[in-house]
Amino acid sequence: MELVVAIKNEDGTINPHYTQTYSEWINGNRKMEIVKFLYAENLLKILMDDLGYIQLNEKGILGLKYFVEQNSFKTAIRLLGNIAEAIIVNRCNNCKEVNRKWATIARKGKKKVRKLDKYLAIGTGLKTTKDRYPTKYDTTNPQRDIIWINTEKGKEELLQINENSVSGISAGLQIKVSTSGINYILDDLKSQRYEVPMVYFGLNDDFDEVAHYLYKNNTQLEIGRDFINVKAFDIDAYEELKSYTPLIIGLINNTIKIDDLFNEKILEHPIIKSALTKVGFQSTVSENNIIMTSNQIYFS
């Protein structure tokens, strides 16, 4: 017997195209068919709504508008960092308990308190922040990727606390994504570059390696307060980003096209509907498969 990750059909049977061993799912390359089924819709919404990186031009062409470096993997990791910011913000805004947890970490508090429910998480580099709270939008903010604002009091920012008193320093989170924390984030941690907690998405599960170095070398950083393992505090956020990884790498390398991620629900998104209208697409759903036909296909 073997433990597997699988998706059931509506009649309760297991679809053989959507199965993978649990060990491969956790430790290896996640099966693309399962990842698309579970996460493609959310990823498209993040890329379109939160980041504005999928855009429609006057010809109806949908494209990923993102600067691609010569090193495509480095580009993918940079984009995943933007996505990680959006994941935490969305999770905070969709769940009171998640918001309390991350806001508590951001203010370096010890207890989750109700007054945090008044504060809204926003990403300083997200398109949604630019549209709704333009004075808080700052893609060059060197310290904070996520902050919390009290929308009832003129968008005042949540502040850190210092020994149970308010410090006057804006609370926030610095988000980092990497496959090699020792090479990417260790110097910033050693120099204590950030005055807010660093939240680390270690795609190769290397948080402990970095934390051990910090402990061994007697740095003043407190693990779990100044340096946060997202996997320990919010496993769902970590799993979501990790599952996006092969999709993002595929989009950057052009082995996956944007329309490969479509499902029935995403076809109702305003940007997608506009694209389909401009190019004369017709779509139908047959046995869980989306069939799209057109004389001209402009997706890229």
The yes-or-no verdict on residue 37 having pLDDT over 90 is no
pLDDT in tens, 98-123: 999 999 999 998 888 888 999 999 99
pTM of the predicted protein model = 0.84
Quick one: pLDDT at residue 285? 37
31 lies in some domain:
no
Number of domains in the chain: 1
**Rounded CA gap, 232 and 210, in Å?**
15
Instruction: Residue 165: give the domain boundaries.
Output: 72-240
34 lies in some domain:
no
Helix (H) or strand (E) holding 189: helix 186-190
Quick one: pLDDT at residue 220? 84
The CB density around residue 228, as the number of other CB atoms within 10 Å, is 23
